[in-house]
């Protein structure tokens, strides 16, 4: 199997995992709260990634000291803040809203790269892509034409997902800029390690950790596998191709949300998904010029 095929399969696999995550989270909420769900998610995710690192990395879990501040930042921001915010938001929003807003991350990566890091130039295709992705977010959160005409856009839960998405974008920039030389499994392992230690100590001290359903375990396994597949995939294919294949996530999420949870997608939201696809097309177009 060649590198491109392997990369495509890895990203598609990760996309399926991202789509399954919110389904398992909502099923978990039927017997427990989001804090217990997040705690067990982190524990079993770390277990899966640890096994992977142990068998695929010669240096096991050793990293150079210079990488530690960046890894700590990624862990605290991407996992302890953004992942926790996302898991909490899923108690308030539909699966499709959470997944689509989460996939608006390229907007913030581009804007942070341009305005904060002063590195990347914004092209006309970037502007088109950002516009289409913003419109996608508006349509998905509005849900209906009536809400759109009355300028009713989303809920506080949608805003929480947006905060998580911005945080994920900052860690993606850090990972691409400073952690490219690290083994993919190590990045995934440390992404959850520091945040996991802090959160699990908090849970043991103040609340306790209970496993009340299999979904608390499955969500951790799914995220562990998805994270590994994603980090391996981005090493094998171009960034534009990664973005394109990740677009399968909203479709998988929409189908699973309907079949398992009975969540319907409105026509306005479906148009929003199409706008998201168009936005990613423009954002990735410059790579092919």
Higher pLDDT, 229 or 80: 80
Res 280: pLDDT: 73
Q: What is the pTM of this model?
A: 0.85
120-140 confidence digits (pLDDT tens): 566 777 778 778 878 887 888
Minimum mean pLDDT range among 49-53, 99-103, 211-215, 248-252: 248-252
- The pLDDT-based confidence of 251 (bands split at 50, 70, 90) is confident
Question: How many residues can be counted in the chain?
Answer: 289
Q: Domain extents for the chain?
A: 3-288
Res 118: pLDDT: 60
58-85 confidence digits (pLDDT tens): 778 888 899 999 999 999 999 999 999 9
* Arithmetic mean of pLDDT, 189-196: 95
List Cβ neighbours of 269 (8 Å cut-off, separation of 6 or more). Answer: 96, 100, 139, 140, 143
Report the chain's terminal Cα–Cα distance, integer Å: 28
* Arithmetic mean of pLDDT, 175-191: 85
Higher pLDDT, 253 or 153: 253
Res 178: pLDDT: 85
Higher pLDDT, 160 or 276: 160
- The pLDDT-based confidence of 174 (bands split at 50, 70, 90) is confident
* Arithmetic mean of pLDDT, 4-27: 88
């Amino acid at each position: 199997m060649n590198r491109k095929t392997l990369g495509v399969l890895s990203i598609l696999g990760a996309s399926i995992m991202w789509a399954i995550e919110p389904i398992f989270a909502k099923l978990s909420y039927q017997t427990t709260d989001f804090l217990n769900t997040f705690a067990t998610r982190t524990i079993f995710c770390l277990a899966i990634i640890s096994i992977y690192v142990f068998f695929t990395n010669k240096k096991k879990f050793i990293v150079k000291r210079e990488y530690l501040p960046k890894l700590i930042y990624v862990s605290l921001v991407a996992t302890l803040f953004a992942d926790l915010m996302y898991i909490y938001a899923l108690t308030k929003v539909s699966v499709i809203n959470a997944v689509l807003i989460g996939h608006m991350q390229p907007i913030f990566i581009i804007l942070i790269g341009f305005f904060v890091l002063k590195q990347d130039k914004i092209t006309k295709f970037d502007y088109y892509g950002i516009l289409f992705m913003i419109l996608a977010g508006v349509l998905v959160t509005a849900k209906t034409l009536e809400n759109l005409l009355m300028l009713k856009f989303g809920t506080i839960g949608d805003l929480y997902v947006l905060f998580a998405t911005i945080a994920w974008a900052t860690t993606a920039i850090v990972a691409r800029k400073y952690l490219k030389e690290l083994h993919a499994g190590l990045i995934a392992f440390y992404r959850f390690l520091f945040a996991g230690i802090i959160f699990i100590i908090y849970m043991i001290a103040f609340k306790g950790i209970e496993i009340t359903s299999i979904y608390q375990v499955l969500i951790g396994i799914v995220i562990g596998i998805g994270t590994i597949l994603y980090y391996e995939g981005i090493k094998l294919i171009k960034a534009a191709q990664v973005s394109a294949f990740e677009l399968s996530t909203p479709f998988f999420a929409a189908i699973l949300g309907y079949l398992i949870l009975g969540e319907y997608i409105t026509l306005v939201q479906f148009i929003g998904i199409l706008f998201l696809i168009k936005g990613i097309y423009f954002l990735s177009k410059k790579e092919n010029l």
